[in-house]
Chain A
Amino acid sequence: MPVKVAEEWLNACSGCEISILNTGEALLDLLPHLDFVHIPVLIDHKYFGQTGDKTVMEIPEAVVGIVSGGVRNEEHKHVAEEMRQKVKILIALGSCAAYGGIPAQANMWKNDEVFDKVFRHCASTEPSPNPEHPNVPKWTNSCQALDEVVKVDITIPGCPPHPDWIADAIGALLAGKTAWALPERSVCDTCPVIREKKSGGGPIKRAFTNIDFDPEQGLDKMRCINEQGFLCLGPVTLAGCAGKEGVPRCVQARTPCRGCFGPIRKGARPMVDMMGALTSVGLDPKTVVDRRAIMNRYIGGHGFLAPLPARPAR
């Protein structure tokens, strides 16, 4: 018997759904075991009946519910609650659902300030009142992770999550398990670069130059990005972005990690831990430009980012 699955996206970019499609061959193997009863990106099931005559939103019952995106408006909240009611196991897919994600950077401002910019201070926009209409859902107070609004059973983090883990988690559920989590390891634990536990010191460099490496050689011949004096969030970020095997995705591009898989464990304080990691290789964490935003780039929900009384210090 195929397992019924419902999928929804909230404050999302659709990258998570593309990542599901990128499970490729694994997807074709999984498909016969899954019965998608609702998934707006692929199937035309509607909230208010197929001819739009009903007045109450309805998502069909399912065993597994998958939600990408955080909660940014009243409708997201409503959909999240409806999903929670209709499914047995709720999966938060991706870092927006898990931690708020990039859109939670907006939590550094009050809602009014964001609307004021978007609708009245953009170069090409005719200054206008904020849109207000029954079909335009009001913003909630902040951009939240899904588990700040409803109970979440399984979290598959990443921006986007790696298809290996999506297939793995769904495979585990099909095998009758009800829990799944990535092992608590850091991105550095999966990174093959050379580490000497020291750096050249000095202020932390911005990405105006490329890091130093020999393109004909593997990453095992390249020096750690932090130790080269740039900011890399590998030490405080959960491993897994390269899937079951492979090297951290950003490091593969010879660029630093920005923490898209979120903290290594619940309750961790990545910003504090990262300051420690930088200090330990002889770098001055105070010299990181735009520190608060950069170190909380993907995790601005859960109260990590909030408006400061004055403008954010840099």
Chain B
Amino acid sequence: MGKVINIQPITRIEGHAKVSIHLDDAGNVTDTKVHVQALRGFEKFCEGRPAEEMPRIVCHICGICPWAHHLASSKATDACFGVTPPPAAVKLRRLMQSIAYIGDRILHFYFLAAPDFVIGPDADYSVRNVIGIVNAAPDLAKQVVKYRQMTANMLEHFAGRAIHPTLSLVGGVSKPMTEAERQEMLPLAKELLEFSKFTIKFAKDNVFPKYLDAIKTIGVIKVGYLGTVTADGALDFYDGHLRLMKPDGAYDDFKYDEYLDYIGEWVEPWSYQKFPYAKKWGQLKLDLNDPVGVYRTNCLARINVADKMATPLAQKELEEFRAAFGRPAHLTLLYHYARLIELVQIAETAVQLLEDPEITSKDIRAAVTPKAGRGIGCVEAPRGTLIHDYTTDAEGLITNVNLIVGTTHNNAAINLSVNQAAKEFIKAGKYDQGILNKVEMAIRAYDP
């Protein structure tokens, strides 16, 4: 009789999951599963809600990327009622999204991911954590806390809520930015850009080189990618069209409202999380050696599908990355690197937006009339593409909702990466804390 190793809870991720690893009599891995245990039912309980309330309801899907859901929902409701928010409203939405993402990335890199790299993947769990980081590098930890705090304060000061925001509404936003607020925020955004530049340099000099081995072995799979690009192929977080890339780099571009032609969702009895897959590539096959329909989303996917970054410093970083790893880059742990390239773009974007005087325009909300309609709103959340698909009735109440959210896209890929890592490291019944942590690192790379 073989045995089953249960890793539960998966830690330093957002959410509830359990990994089961099945071993045969000889102690070799036969099967692995990542069981997602949480289900809340947003698609159901949003039915009947007034559409204009949606952006402040669905943000609660995720406390780490509430701004992404808030904005995808705003865009979906804009589309249901057929309104176009004024340019300043879009700029404010983008600005808030950028500031929120900077805070998120700093958190993920230093507090959730770094313990594996700075303290070491095999270190005991009691030190392999943020407190270990605080003890090992107290000054850096102070800076991290300071800059995270800065992003939270900027959001709160302007938008009231940093977590579960209310600023964005169908047709625009709830308040304009004053010139005084712009003047206050601009130097802070510049500081965040400096810290972002420091962070990617720090990672390239001190973190990644030591772990090239891990990068080449943990969670490695070769699958497709999904992300958002602008008309000229640049990476964009707020708007554009979707691009679905095959493992070999060929891709299809499509508009939001065509998503059902490209993406289907499969259900497995052993997980509450569905398995989105690329329909056009065939029926989903979760086979490590011959996967079908599997694609990934989140940062590595975005920088793979994009022809270029949207800002100059980030573009330089991308060129350096591509020279080393090619396009598409498949190594799973490169997610950590890609995340920091994105960090640079987001910080540059925040500075650009605050340097643009139009952001203080008082024209921030289009006229809104409720009506029957359907609207599909997408944005790139830190964790991947969000698809919010709403239908409204004549009174503007929600009658139908479909949601495909960031990490869900990665469900199939995460399962494959875990399978790969388990098979790579667990052999002849030999495993320990360090080895099981490496299996978890395959999950953590996706920042699920």
Interface residues of A (CB under 8 A from B): 9, 11-19, 21-22, 24-25, 27-28, 31, 36, 40-48, 50-53, 72-73, 75, 101-103, 105-106, 108-109, 113-115, 117-119, 122-126, 128-129, 131-133, 135-137, 139, 159-160, 206-211, 213, 215-216, 248-255, 258, 260, 289-290, 293-294, 297, 311-312, 314
Interface residues of B (CB under 8 A from A): 5-16, 18, 20, 33, 35, 37-41, 43-45, 47-50, 52-53, 56-57, 60-64, 66, 107, 111-112, 125-126, 128-131, 134, 141-142, 145-146, 148-149, 152, 156, 158-167, 169-172, 174-176, 178, 259-260, 263-272, 274, 276, 362, 364-365, 367-370, 387, 389, 395-397, 400, 402-404, 431-433, 436-437, 440
Which chain A residue lies CB-closest to B7? A52
What is the minimal beta-carbon distance from B92 to any residue of chain A, in angstroms?
11
* A131-B272, A215-B178 given; A42·B111 CB < 8 A: yes
Inter-chain contacts of A41 with B (CB < 8 A): 11-14, 112
The answer to whether B130 touches A109 (Cβ under 8 A) is: no
The answer to whether A131 touches B270 (Cβ under 8 A) is: yes
What is the minimal beta-carbon distance from A53 to any residue of chain B, in angstroms?
7
Inter-chain contacts of B271 with A (CB < 8 A): 131, 133, 136
Closest 8 interchain pairs by CB? A15-B63, A253-B160, A252-B160, A128-B267, A24-B149, A44-B125, A13-B63, A105-B45
* A102-B60, A135-B37, A208-B52 given; A44·B148 CB < 8 A: no
What is the minimal beta-carbon distance from B116 to any residue of chain A, in angstroms?
10
- What separation, in Å, do the CA atoms of A311 and B393 have in the docked complex? 16
* A50-B436, A136-B272, A255-B174 given; A250·B14 CB < 8 A: no
Residue from B134, B158, B368 within 8 A of A28 (CB atoms):
B134
Inter-chain contacts of B52 with A (CB < 8 A): 206-208
Which chain A residue lies CB-closest to B436? A51
- What separation, in Å, do the CA atoms of A28 and B41 have in the docked complex? 37
The answer to whether B389 touches A123 (Cβ under 8 A) is: yes
Most buried by A among B16, B49, B158: B16
Inter-chain contacts of A102 with B (CB < 8 A): 57, 60
The answer to whether B164 touches A159 (Cβ under 8 A) is: yes
What is the minimal beta-carbon distance from B99 to any residue of chain A, in angstroms?
14
- What separation, in Å, do the CA atoms of A201 and B50 have in the docked complex? 21
- What separation, in Å, do the CA atoms of A294 and B268 have in the docked complex? 34
Which chain A residue lies CB-closest to B126? A43
The answer to whether B134 touches A31 (Cβ under 8 A) is: yes
- What separation, in Å, do the CA atoms of A254 and B169 have in the docked complex? 11
* A122-B265, A123-B389, A290-B50 given; A42·B368 CB < 8 A: no
What is the minimal beta-carbon distance from B41 to any residue of chain A, in angstroms?
4
The answer to whether A106 touches B274 (Cβ under 8 A) is: no
The answer to whether B60 touches A124 (Cβ under 8 A) is: no
What is the minimal beta-carbon distance from A278 to any residue of chain B, in angstroms?
17
Residue from B37, B259, B389 within 8 A of A136 (CB atoms):
B37
What is the minimal beta-carbon distance from A279 to any residue of chain B, in angstroms?
21
The answer to whether B14 touches A21 (Cβ under 8 A) is: no
**Interface SS of A by simple majority:** loop
The answer to whether A24 touches B148 (Cβ under 8 A) is: yes
* A13-B60, A15-B60, A253-B166 given; A126·B266 CB < 8 A: yes
What is the minimal beta-carbon distance from B119 to any residue of chain A, in angstroms?
11
What is the minimal beta-carbon distance from B390 to any residue of chain A, in angstroms?
11
- What separation, in Å, do the CA atoms of A40 and B80 have in the docked complex? 39
Inter-chain contacts of B141 with A (CB < 8 A): 28
The answer to whether B66 touches A113 (Cβ under 8 A) is: no
The answer to whether B41 touches A106 (Cβ under 8 A) is: yes
- What separation, in Å, do the CA atoms of A53 and B172 have in the docked complex? 53
What is the minimal beta-carbon distance from A311 to any residue of chain B, in angstroms?
8
Residue from B6, B10, B134, B160 within 8 A of A48 (CB atoms):
B6
- What separation, in Å, do the CA atoms of A209 and B369 have in the docked complex? 10
Residue from A45, A75, A114, A124 within 8 A of B37 (CB atoms):
A75
Inter-chain contacts of A132 with B (CB < 8 A): 269
What is the minimal beta-carbon distance from A61 to any residue of chain B, in angstroms?
16
The answer to whether A215 touches B176 (Cβ under 8 A) is: yes
What is the minimal beta-carbon distance from A161 to any residue of chain B, in angstroms?
10
Inter-chain contacts of A314 with B (CB < 8 A): 48, 397
Inter-chain contacts of A105 with B (CB < 8 A): 45, 57
Inter-chain contacts of A248 with B (CB < 8 A): 160
Inter-chain contacts of B12 with A (CB < 8 A): 40-44
